Amino acid sequence: MPDRETRTILLVDSSASILFYLAMLLKRLEYRVVTARSAEDALRMMGDALPSIVLTELSLPKMNGIQFLKHIKDTARYAAVPVVILTSENDPGMKDTCTRIGCAGYVAKPVEPDVLYRTLQTASESVPRLNIRLRASLKVIVGDGSVIGGTKRTEYATAISEGGLYIRTLYPQPRNALTPLRFFINDREISARAVVLYSYALGEGPFEEPGMGMKFVEISDGDRALIRGFIKEQLTRDITPQENSTAP
């Protein structure tokens, strides 16, 4: 799970509570965030520095989201910036209109972190990630003694996603090695088999820590859902329900 360039999101919404909630969520998703409460303010900010992505609500004071999107796409300096629409509107025609004008994605409220993340990744990355990567500290039992290099050891995962994890270890296995794993989330044991996608020696990698990135190749649907729920829980912790409301 190598690190990528940090993207800057210009988040536009007239609700202070929504701005707070989404800014917190996006920062936990490892984006840099700047905020504006109107399209006019957002355009002034874009005049100073272009963001990597614009994430905007449709219901805005004065210039609305459709007009804002059209202005961006009609302005040569801004046209290449992907715009993702965030809205509680249920009108399919509105989505079609945004798509025709050139929006890069359309996300419904209330926001599901994994849906938002995939949409932003698709809008901004040439090789988008499908799953959220969460930094963590999870004890992992690596190997069961049944495969070469598979002597059972206790290690720690420093990042996890629905699709795999990064294990910090002084003894990374070679690429394509298939290894049994056991780890615990919320007191529930998860058993899986994972393949090594890449490995780093001491002093290498994004955090200069030795280890290996692994992809789950055998894991139950229930365990995958548990990981997904754990990641959402960690991303939204300490954010109260009213902070995800539509009240201004």
Same domain, 45 and 99: yes
pLDDT in tens, 211-231: 999 999 999 999 999 999 999
Same domain, 146 and 224: yes
- Taking each continuous run of H as one helix and of E as one strand, the counts in the chain are 6, 11
Domain that holds residue 75: 8-130
Choose among 38, 46, 34: nearest CA to 14.
Answer: 38
Can you give the pLDDT at residue 241?
44
Can you give the pLDDT at residue 133?
92
Same domain, 110 and 163: no
pLDDT in tens, 120-151: 999 999 999 989 999 999 999 998 766 554 57
- End-to-end alpha carbon distance in the chain: 38
How many residues appear in the chain? 248
CA distance 115 to 132: 10
Does 3 map to a domain? no
Does 169 map to a domain? yes
Look over the chain and give the mean of its residue pLDDT values, rounded to a whole number. Answer: 89
Total domains in the fold of the chain: 2
pLDDT in tens, 21-64: 999 999 999 999 999 999 999 999 999 999 999 999 999 999 99
Point out the domain boundary residue: 130, 145, 174: 130
- Which band of pLDDT confidence, cut at 50, 70 and 90, is reported for residue 247? very low
Does 228 map to a domain? yes
Give the CATH number, domain containing residue 121.
3.40.50.2300
Same domain, 123 and 139: no
Same domain, 118 and 175: no
Residues 6 or more apart whose Cβ sits within 8 Å of residue 76 = none
Same domain, 124 and 55: yes
Give the CATH number, domain containing residue 221.
2.40.10.220
Can you give the pLDDT at residue 244?
42
Same domain, 84 and 147: no
**Three-class secondary structure of residue 65 per DSSP:** helix
Q: What is the mean pLDDT of residues 183-195?
A: 94
Can you give the pLDDT at residue 146?
62
Strand (E) positions, 75-162? 83-87, 105-108, 134-142, 153-161
Q: Cα-flanking dihedrals φ and ψ of residue 163, to 5°?
A: -100, -10
The better pLDDT of the pair 10, 4 is held by: 10
